[in-house]
Amino acid sequence: MFFKKYEFNITLIPTIAFIVACICFILLGFWQLDRANEKNSKNSNYTLRQADNSIDLNKELSIENEESLLWRRTKVNGSFLNKKSIILDNQILNKIAGFNVLTPFQVKNSQYIVLINRGWQPNLTRRDLIPNIQSIEGDIVIKGHIAKFPTGGISLGHENIETLNSSVFRMQKLEIDELRHFLTFNLLPYMIYLDPLIDKGNYSTFKLPAPGSEKNYGYAFQWFAFAFTLLIIFIKIGVRRKNVIKSKK
């Protein structure tokens, strides 16, 4: 009488390689899930802060406390310092290259200055052209969202601040110490994204503090799928059927 029996036929080294690779894929999958959870936590905090009452920076006693103010809606009375507008270069919106227009703003009846993000513009036809940045004179009340300075960017050469004319300067990235030296040491450690925008033709680039958690879930699924596929291949290659004759009693 015959019966079928399965047996493994893989040597030690391939087995170890399979175990190591499979563990790595699984760990990478859980790492991506952790990243997604971190982003979701930040975004939930953002949503809660957006629901809070708007902050009046002219009355806010903890005006320098970045962590307590981030992602809050705000309003502030003061005046733009039009002589030091900044073009933040290499900013992409909807896969189009452009720049953000940033202008320092003097908080009324205080020593503080806050950087205002006035929105995004597409690059001009030539790099040597200077964008027409509207001067906004006199006292004004602006509204917007408090956020961190954008990270990233590279410095082309040793000089990060490029003078375009007497009132417009181009930067490749924002560094708080450099900005404080260039503008004033009383520069607040965050910026305000205008909402609503003042300049016609500009586009808002304000977004969630940690977008893209959906991508992390997708990457996690891919890593787990790799581990599962590797397991199937391992079993397919390593397991075979063995025919054994069983003696009759």
Tell me the per-residue pLDDT of 205-249, one tens digit each, with 9 for 90 and over: 888 777 778 888 999 999 999 999 998 888 888 776 555 555 454
Kindly state whether residues 169 and 219 are assigned to the same domain: no
Domains identified in the chain, total number:
2
82, 167 Cβ separation under 8 angstroms: yes
Kindly state whether residues 147 and 33 are assigned to the same domain: no
Kindly state whether residues 34 and 96 are assigned to the same domain: no
Kindly state whether residues 236 and 159 are assigned to the same domain: no
pTM passes above 0.85: no
Q: Which domain holds residue 115?
A: 71-194
Kindly state whether residues 87 and 142 are assigned to the same domain: yes
In our burial notation (b when 16+ CB lie closer than 10 A, e otherwise), range 92-112 reads: ebeeeebbbbbbbbbbeeeeb
3-state class (DSSP) for residue 63: coil
Kindly state whether residues 184 and 77 are assigned to the same domain: yes
151-197 per-position pLDDT tens digit: 765 655 556 889 999 999 999 999 889 999 999 889 999 999 999 99
Q: Is 46 within the bounds of a domain?
A: no
Q: Is 173 within the bounds of a domain?
A: yes
Kindly state whether residues 134 and 178 are assigned to the same domain: yes
